[in-house]
Structure 1
Amino acid sequence: MISALLLVGIVVAVFVGYNIGGATTAPAFGPAIGADAASKTAAGGLMTIFFFVGAWTIGRRVVDTLGRELVHDPAVFSLEASVAVLFFIGAALFVGNVFGVPASTSMTAVGSIAGLGFAAGELNWTVMGEIAIWWLVSPIIGFWISLIIGRYFYSYLNRAIAMERSEGPLFEIDRSRIVPIPAPSDTTNRRELGGVTVVIAIGCLMAYSSGTSNIANAIAPLVGSGELEMNPAIVIGCFAVGIGAFTIARRTLETMGNELTELPLTAAIVVATVSATLVIFLSAIGIPASFVIIATMCLIGLGWGRATRPITVPEAVRGEKSTPVSVGALTVDEAGEELPPIGEEEPERIPSAADLFDPGTTARVVLMQNVIPALATIGAYATFQFVPVFGL
């Protein structure tokens, strides 16, 4: 018989997973939606499947870190404390959505659990320090890898994988067989099919990486309390993520799909690949990663590298330079556009480092991404320290 308090904990965990599904499906499959490579229903299905695969394999390592290693004595995860921690995580997600800033769920979850551990005198400072170091190092790694790609390899990648959509549907139903199957339409070329495959594969990789890291944010407190076993907790968390992917994610998919049409598809693929790879690596060593911050730094690095790339002799002779493309608060330039003859160019067309950021928007995003986890940490500590019902 499930106790009423455990049922409340499961409901709150489902709420957290639901928000995770809504928040992470769009970054994963926004490029595919923008390129008309997948439907919103297909994106929701792929997100659910690959999130589950990531959670079931590597994700349990991050659950162990948050639920059993971040505090010396997992007994501090009483059922009441676990419900409170999940409440702080869910509340932080809500605040981030209200302000339109994608808050780091992982940082918020770690902060809430750290507040509990600190109040109880059971915080494992060694594990906390290791997590904090990787939080500082991983965005820097992503920034420099993306900068190098943008500066030296982006043009080659763009020529290799850039895709232009043809008119009409990508696939048609072939009814000439006993069992009707989808087949490429007459207007679809091989290069386009290759581009579609890459975009969808990258989305699946991002969904997998999200599962490896984010499943812990929804279920770690309940698993740490011993009230819920690992395997059923993963199933419940992934089910909740799937609900979010099929429902509230549709709106964010529409928004991101439209916005990403302004972002060169090659740039979206580079940022997604570097970010997802780093998140999977961190999850494999048990570190809860902030995909939002890593992806932001990768986008900044890629834009900076593109803006400062060396101009080759053939480009100088032809009068070709990079042209900036505005994407939200950042600017990413698109290579290969031919400018007017030398001497007649508009100087403002050549991007500088200052063009890469909208200072006001960037400051707001960075501030909120740090303030929200800090508020969760302080709130959790104050609650567990001064509210006697928890008995710490």
Structure 2
Amino acid sequence: MQLDSLSAWLDWLEKNHPTEIDLGLERITRVAQRMALLKPTAKVVTVAGTNGKGSCVTATAALLGAAGFSVGVYTSPHLLHYNERIVVDGNPVADAEICSAFAAIFNACQQTCADYPEPISLTYFEYGTLAALEIFQRRQVMATVLEVGLGGRLDAINIIDADVAVITSIALDHTDWLGDNREAIGYEKAGIMRAGKPVVCADFSPPQSLLDHAQNLSASLQLISRDFGYSVAGDSTWNWWNNNVQFSSQTLPQLPLPSLAAALQVACIFGLDLLAIDAFTRLAALRVPGRFQTVHWRERQVILDVAHNPAATAYLVERLVQGGAVGSKIHGIVAMMADKDRAQSLENLKGYISNWYIADLSFIPRAATVEQLRQNLVDLDVEAEFSGSVSDCLHAAFNNSDPGDRILVFGSFYTVAAGLQALAATTA
């Protein structure tokens, strides 16, 4: 099958498989075998974690690229364009290349044999994963940095053996699939480890299940605060160290420090010279869209952040405090998915947001309704000022605010994407 555009392929993929999430590796492994994708020649870094994955992926890719590696990066979800998910040497791949990969995957799915007498059906995410691997193989990249979509053990990314596995953090999220406690979730994320291979863990209190799994595999487990770590020195510098080197008084980056500390440790595992590649200057310059992204709009600062679970909103509060935002009035625009811990996520921000606006994402089946979010706020003794589309909420916040106020758009990727689109439309 050959469809005539990327949008046509994506429309087809959204309807192709019976369920959006279908954890398990058997189906995708068989298709990857048919496409000879299971043993890439490139070095592979696989990144799992509840929060901080995107920042760690971005930092790791930047460091490898600075050292002369051609780097393929696969992340999810995207904010504005699907091509954001598949990047080679810092550039999103073109529509035509993704369409070509999708067509090759479809053809491989159609092959039948005694074990699979019928064509194999894959999910949207599984198609994307194979497309990235096929493109990276065709481009002959030297290194790939792969972001786990959900969990680790049964995630599509895990068909590939990681040369270095990274686990950024472990908190409660996606509990319907991963378990309702950190031990269960830690076990799922530990599934990306490989026997005898390095594992970098940036969680300050890793669950025993993760530690046990590493020991059972004889994996080289490198823990933050034990084998590498960092400290903040004042308002503008930080220090990073591992058991071999130490760097002091480096420019403080904008991205989460545990994720960057882990990326630096990965770079050292690969033997990179951090001084030669000017690692700390590069990290200080990095930004990731939707992660405390700031836009100046009509004499207001708009902050956009995809924080959508309690650990993420707690970190968002830290960023607001560090950035001096709590000294001004903050108008909060929120929408989240129904399966998230909305109550705790919102409670973390209760004392910092002066006026609340509920964004309507009813066009997303998984989204929490306006009524659900309104009730979550009522339970916190908070009343929403307004509800409507993200664009309408932005304009309502503008009308209710004064120059110098801040507008925080947070929650799901859909919320932030809609916020970015609305801001672009009003400034074009």
TM-score (norm 1): 0.22
Report the TM-score when normalising by structure 2. Answer: 0.21
Q: Would you tell me which structure has more helix in proportion to its own residues?
A: 1
Which one has a larger percent strand, Structure 1 or Structure 2? Answer: 2
Q: Which structure is richer in relative contact order (CA contacts within 8 A, separation 6 or more)?
A: 1
